[in-house]
Amino acid sequence: MYIGSTGPRGLHHLVYEILDNAIDEVQAGEAANVEVSVDTGTGWVTISDDGRGIPVDTHPSTGKSSLETVLTVLHAGGKFGGEGSGYSVSGGLHGVGISVVNALSESLRVTVWRDGRAHSQSYERGKPLTPLKSTPLPPEDAKKRGTRLAFRYDPLIFTSGVVYDPDTLRSRLREVAFLNSAATIKFRAAPADVESAPWEIFAFSGGLKEYVTWLNRDKEVLHPPIYVNRTINGVVVEVGLQWCADSFSDTLVGFVNSVKTVDGGTHMDGMKAALTRVINSLARKSKALKEGDPSLPGDHVREGLGAVVSVKVPNPEFEGQTKTRLGNPEVRKLVDSVVSEELSAALELEAATFSAILSKGMQAFRAAEAAKKARELVRRKSVLVRSTLPGKLADCTSSDKAASEIFLVEGDSAGGSAKQARDRRFQAILPLRGKILNVERRDDASLYKNAEISDLIVALGLGVKGGADLSALRYGKVILLTDADVDGAHIRTLLLTFLFRYCRELFEAGRIFVGVPPLYKVDPLRGAAGTKKSAYCYDDADLSVALEGRVQGSYHIQRFKGLGEMMPEQLWSTTLDPATRTLRRLTLEDAAEASHLFTLLMGDKVGPRRELIEAYGASLSVQDLDI
């Protein structure tokens, strides 16, 4: 309940809970250095800081040390306990996170340096193995202080096969470093026996200005970053803003006490409201918008915007322990007020910047009007509101949306096999002809005129871009099923680009999946001695395992070039049958990073894409790159 899941998201949340405690020391001005080390061989994670160290004196309520109390008792380490609590703002709120991490860890070791002594204790699945040990520090280390906590997650609790993703952790540490410009954060992910593994260092003295520049690193920016920073009623409001010329979507990132609020909240609502009001007010003041002209809607004002909103709130009210959305109503008013005043003043001083932002918003408005006309034309041709579904869609018979699923299949051949193999009660098939439109390089008007895109919109029940209603979605699962080759990967990426740009909420709701068809089939030759049963292999590693123990010459390897080569019963048993298939759910951990990757892969700038391909090709030891 507290970490969200027992899969990869929950596993990484364990790290974030301990990291938040270290960052609280940074925000309190008591620490400047944080180290995070992941042993990729054993799964041990070690996080240390040079803060004051967790208290070790006897806790008045439990009679145990304060260290053991906060590690074993829920709500015992709350940081807003009134006078003397030590934190004016904090990401670790209620003393729950660290005790939950302890309970969900197979083993945990903690060391605290304070008052000239080293205090240590070990735990197993939340229970202390040893009493608190305390030893004096040598004279040269007498002033050493801080906390080091090492833990290994409990494999009995977390989903089999889950591992830490260094890129996911790296992204979080980078964010924290941007938000806390006085901190230096070091990160290393490598097997413990590789002593030469280098440390990555995240330190950004430019703070949010540098963060916004990094967000827009692959885009053509219209102006230098606009920076807002003010403390009002005890709440620190910090905002970085920068618009881009070559982007048709916004990238908005929010934080509360250095905790990322992936579901937004009142601080983001206040920022959006202020932006819309300020831009329209200045546009009318400058006569760019005349009396009677409609105001620019918020989504047009924000088109091309990269923004970071960070607030530090003494008593934040999060929705859920995972802290994904801020609920304090007063914060909306404070952020709205600060952004309105500071942005108005900045844009009145920088007329060229305001002109560029307004021009971008007006272009977005005109493009939206063109798209609206295109939609109306499409509607008149009965594409988006037609009562009939696309003719090539083989729909399912079930009316239970939650239990139904649609497969987006590459080509008529694969579509034919899938239609024969499926369970028509709950599985629908939509074959796609070739490669769909790359929406990253096209405007909305082109999108609605495209037949394949229109079929997708109608078949899925998405409605109009920007107004998609997930309750109207016709299927519980949207499954991308393409060939296991380069063309299949390209088609899958085109589909993902469309779905991400058209209706990002599908990913946030966990409705998008990728089907995993087999790449090989190993068959025993008739009459061969020492043979095993037929085996399907999904990659080269699977193939190596399947060939172990087989006599050379006693088997035949079939490589599937496409889904259309598979017999319907093969396709059912390997790819469509819920009891035996493998599906990969695509979730949205970092919208900003996902948007950046889609821009790199599908945008019109060749140079950055080439660098990405070369970098990943080198990391995968690819010998020949077709670039």
In this structure, the strands spanning 305-312 and 251-256 are parallel
pLDDT > 90 fraction of the chain, expressed in percent and rounded:
55
Catalytic residue among 20, 250, 342, 410: 410
The verdict on 54 and 188 lying in the same domain is yes
| Within-domain flag for 507 | no
* Range with the poorest average pLDDT among 120-124, 232-236, 447-451, 556-560: 447-451
| Within-domain flag for 261 | yes
pLDDT > 70 fraction of the chain, expressed in percent and rounded:
90
Q: Which residues of 173-206 are buried (b: 16+ CB within 10 A; e: fewer)?
A: bbbbbbbbeebebbbbbbeeeeeeeeeeebebee
Q: For the chain, how long is the longest CA-to-CA vector? A: 89
| Within-domain flag for 64 | yes
Q: What's the pLDDT score for residue 95?
A: 46
H or E stretch covering 76? none
Do residues 58 and 68 touch, judged by C-beta distance below 8 A?
Answer: no
Q: What's the pLDDT score for residue 527?
A: 67
CATH number at residue 151: 3.30.565.10
The verdict on 252 and 185 lying in the same domain is no
pLDDT band at 86 (very low <50, low <70, confident <90, very high): low
Q: Which tokens in the block code for residue 238?
A: 């910090």
Catalytic residue among 412, 485, 542, 590: 485
Which of residues 334, 358, 373 is at a domain's end?
A: 373
pLDDT band at 207 (very low <50, low <70, confident <90, very high): very high
The verdict on 237 and 336 lying in the same domain is yes
pLDDT band at 12 (very low <50, low <70, confident <90, very high): very high
The mean pLDDT of 73-101, rounded to a whole number, is 60
| Within-domain flag for 19 | yes
pLDDT band at 576 (very low <50, low <70, confident <90, very high): very high
Catalytic residue among 350, 395, 487, 577: 487
Residue 559, phi then psi, degrees to nearest 5: -105, 120
For the question of residue 39 being annotated catalytic, the response is no
CATH number at residue 234: 3.30.230.10
The verdict on 143 and 254 lying in the same domain is no
| Within-domain flag for 264 | yes
Query: Residue 52: CB partners within 8 Å, gap ≥ 6?
Result: 25, 30, 31, 86, 114, 145, 146
pLDDT of 380 > 80? The answer is: no
| Within-domain flag for 416 | no
Q: Which tokens in the block code for residue 408?
A: 């987006």
Q: What's the pLDDT score for residue 255?
A: 94
Which of residues 342, 373, 404 is at a domain's end?
A: 373
Which of residues 202, 232, 265 is at a domain's end?
A: 202
C-beta contacts of 518-521 below 8 A and 24+ residues apart: 518/484, 518/560, 518/574, 518/575, 519/484, 519/543, 519/559, 519/560, 520/546, 520/557, 520/558, 520/559, 520/560, 521/557, 521/558, 521/560, 521/570
**By CB neighbour count within 10 A (0-12 exposed, 13-18 middle, 19+ buried), where does 599 fall?**
buried
The verdict on 254 and 334 lying in the same domain is yes
Q: What's the pLDDT score for residue 614?
A: 79
Q: Which tokens in the block code for residue 134?
A: 């305390």
For the question of residue 483 being annotated catalytic, the response is yes
Rounded CA separation 474/164 (Å): 34
The gap from C-alpha 194 to its chain's centroid, in whole angstroms, comes to 29
Rounded CA separation 27/315 (Å): 15
Partners of residue 306 on adjacent β-strands? 242, 251
Rounded CA separation 71/60 (Å): 15
pLDDT of 402 > 80? The answer is: yes
Q: What is the pLDDT of residues 465-490, one digit of tens each?
A: 766 678 888 999 999 999 877 888 89
The verdict on 234 and 335 lying in the same domain is yes
The verdict on 296 and 152 lying in the same domain is no
The verdict on 172 and 284 lying in the same domain is no
| Within-domain flag for 245 | yes
For the question of residue 291 being annotated catalytic, the response is no
The verdict on 192 and 224 lying in the same domain is no
Where in the sequence is the domain holding 614, given as residue range(s)? 593-627
For the question of residue 410 being annotated catalytic, the response is yes
Q: What is the pLDDT of residues 485-541, one digit of tens each?
A: 788 889 999 999 999 988 888 988 889 999 999 989 998 887 665 557 889 998 888
> How many Cβ atoms are within 10 Å of 208's Cβ, its own excluded?
25
Reported in sequence order, the residue ranges of 512-608 that DSSP labels E, i.e. its strands, are: 512-515, 520-524, 535-537, 555-559, 583-585
Q: Which tokens in the block code for residue 45?
A: 């994670």
| Within-domain flag for 237 | yes
The verdict on 244 and 322 lying in the same domain is yes
Q: What's the pLDDT score for residue 153?
A: 96
Terminal alpha carbon distance of the chain: 47
The verdict on 165 and 67 lying in the same domain is yes
Count of domains for the chain: 3
The verdict on 119 and 221 lying in the same domain is no
Q: Which tokens in the block code for residue 229?
A: 């920073």
Choose among 257, 262, 247: nearest CA to 215. Answer: 247
Choose among 71, 136, 131: nearest CA to 101. Answer: 71
Q: What's the pLDDT score for residue 385?
A: 46
